[in-house]
């Protein structure tokens, strides 16, 4: 089987033997990744230019707080307390492993748009943060949200893509399972 093959009559795009239903899925994935990476990095550049380390700014009746945080760990700082010699290779390695797993899920025959979009968001957010981690050894986080003392951890837009993607994956897979049981599989 060729590595790349296009079957016009069946509407399948074949990549290394893994079927992707048609041109829509790679286009959707590419658009999501490009949008998340560009917007995330643009926001990080703007935030880094205007936020002093240690300074905290409150917006929208304190719902949104802006502050510069150089995160050497994973999402919400997980793993930031690991010894540096372990952390510098472990954080990118774990991220790459997750990206490989998500890639496999993307190429799997998923029949639900929500799951595919969710997986694309998770991949895009993970990739965007991986770029920072490889380039700078850390990820730049710059906002948290909440009311009073009930707040999220300090995050960036790549983290938001991941946090939006995870429930979309669950919704999509649950919907696909339900539709499969009913014999009505939705295709995008």
Residue 4 lies in a domain: no
Residue 8 lies in a domain: no
d(CA 80, CA 91) in angstroms, rounded, equals 9
Using left for φ > 0, alpha for ψ between -120 and 50, and beta otherwise, residue 79 falls in: left
Total domains in the fold of the chain? 1
Give the residue, 121 or 106, on which the prediction is more confident.
Answer: 121
Mean predicted confidence (pLDDT) in 54-72: 88
Residue 38 lies in a domain: yes
Give the residue, 188 or 172, on which the prediction is more confident.
Answer: 172
Look-up of token digits 């296009």: 6
d(CA 32, CA 90) in angstroms, rounded, equals 27
Q: What is the pLDDT of residue 161?
A: 97
Residue 103 lies in a domain: yes
Whether the CB-CB separation of 65 and 143 falls below 8 Å is answered with yes
Give tens-digit pLDDT for 125-175: 999 999 999 999 889 999 999 988 899 888 999 999 999 999 999 998 888
Instruction: Give the range of the structural domain holding residue 74, as residue numbers without chain letter.
Output: 23-182
Q: In what order do the strands lie in the sheet with 12-15?
A: 4-7, 12-15, 18-20
Residue 101 lies in a domain: yes
| Res. 18 pLDDT band, cuts 50 70 90 | very low
d(CA 2, CA 70) in angstroms, rounded, equals 45
| Res. 16 pLDDT band, cuts 50 70 90 | very low
Assigned token pair, 62:
């304190």
Residue 79 lies in a domain: yes
Residue 175 lies in a domain: yes
Residue 165 lies in a domain: yes
């Amino acid at each position: 089987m060729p590595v790349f093959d296009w079957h016009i009559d069946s509407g399948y795009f074949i990549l290394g033997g893994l079927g992707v239903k048609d041109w829509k899925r790679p286009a959707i994935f590419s658009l999501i990744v490009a949008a998340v990476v560009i917007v995330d990095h643009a926001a990080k550049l703007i935030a880094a230019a205007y936020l002093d380390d240690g300074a905290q700014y409150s917006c929208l009746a304190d719902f949104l707080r802006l502050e510069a945080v150089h995160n050497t760990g994973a999402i919400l700082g997980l793993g930031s307390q690991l010894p540096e010699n372990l952390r510098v290779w472990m954080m990118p390695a774990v991220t790459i492993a997750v990206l490989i797993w998500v890639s496999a899920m993307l190429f799997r025959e998923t029949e639900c748009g929500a799951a595919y979009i969710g997986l694309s968001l998770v991949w895009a957010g993970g990739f965007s943060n991986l770029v920072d981690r490889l380039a700078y050894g850390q990820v730049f986080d710059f906002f948290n949200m909440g009311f009073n003392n009930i707040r999220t951890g300090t995050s960036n837009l790549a983290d938001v893509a991941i946090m939006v993607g995870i429930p979309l994956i669950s919704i999509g897979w649950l919907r696909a399972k339900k539709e499969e049981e009913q014999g009505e599989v939705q295709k995008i």
